[in-house]
Chains A and B, each alone.
Chain A
């Protein structure tokens, strides 16, 4: 079966709820491109995920236009991870955070030599941010700066 067309379904859903039509981002121009500078087996990988993951002890995300980010130490105990989000069913993410924040498989790929190493911290936020402008002008530059500080060679992005 063909993939779900989410844009028309979400548009109809917003109309049912009486919201203004959402302006989906449509980039017709070719995306920027930076080739990998070395083999994956030598790369330090950064990770950012928008499934609303935080570590216990951190302040959780709230559901009204939250554009804050959290730093998660790369050696975090998976048992300390939590998921909170207003727009998707978090039950499986609470059972196993790796479904939206794949730290265990990434650690394994490092042990196997498939990947060089992981950054010393990962970054999370809660997606479903209504304003594309705020993502572009606030979250994206902040994360780009963090990844520069982290000295990563490549970044994996995991939305929900």
Chain B
């Protein structure tokens, strides 16, 4: 995503990249980044915690006004849990990548039915 950020920024639009992987973000080196030290799959917070999600987004977005140095990474002040054992387990036994099917992988069969029927009636752009 850092590559996209660099491209969009070069095209004249300021960008901010969220990050869960500090070493990858530093390597790609986007213009602005906000690092949230949570497990992958939680780039902007914990599920069903709207207050926390709001604080994370407000903190991160304030970087647009606060940052002045290209390549800055701001560490957000939130911890996933007191026990940081999840860090030892991340990729420790390999990831659980799914087989690389080349057909659409729907969350549920109703989605497949709707997509094959030509979209959702309540979603105008879903018909493309």
Binding site for B on A (CB under 8 A): 1, 3-7, 9-10, 12-13, 16-17, 24-37, 39-40, 43, 45-46, 48-51, 54-65, 71-73, 76-77, 80, 82-84, 86-96, 98-102, 104-106, 108-109, 114-115, 121, 127, 132, 135-136, 139-141, 143-144, 147-148, 152-160
User: Looking at chain B, what size class is its interface with the partner chain?
Assistant: 35 or more
| Between-chain CB contacts (< 8 Å), 26 pairs | A3-B22, A4-B87, A6-B90, A30-B71, A31-B6, A37-B14, A51-B43, A60-B104, A64-B100, A73-B124, A84-B106, A86-B97, A86-B105, A89-B96, A95-B47, A96-B48, A100-B41, A141-B7, A144-B8, A144-B11, A155-B15, A156-B15, A157-B1, A157-B8, A160-B20, A160-B43
Q: A35-B14, A56-B110, A89-B96 are in contact. Are A114 and B58 (CB under 8 A)?
A: yes
Binding site for A on B (CB under 8 A): 1-24, 27-31, 35, 37, 40-48, 50, 53-54, 56-58, 60-62, 64-65, 70-71, 84, 87, 90-92, 94-108, 110-112, 114-115, 119-128
Residue in B closest to A84 when the chains form the complex, CB atoms: B105
Hey, which chain A residues are within 8 Å of B14, CB to CB? 34-37, 153-155
Hey, which chain A residues are within 8 Å of B42, CB to CB? 92, 99-100
Q: A57-B119, A108-B54, A155-B14 are in contact. Are A63 and B106 (CB under 8 A)?
A: no
- Partner pick for A57 among B4, B41, B96, B115, CB 8 A cutoff: B115
**Known contacts A58-B123, A62-B105, A127-B1; can you find 7 more A-B pairs with CB under 8 A?**
A57-B115, A60-B111, A64-B100, A87-B95, A89-B40, A109-B57, A139-B4
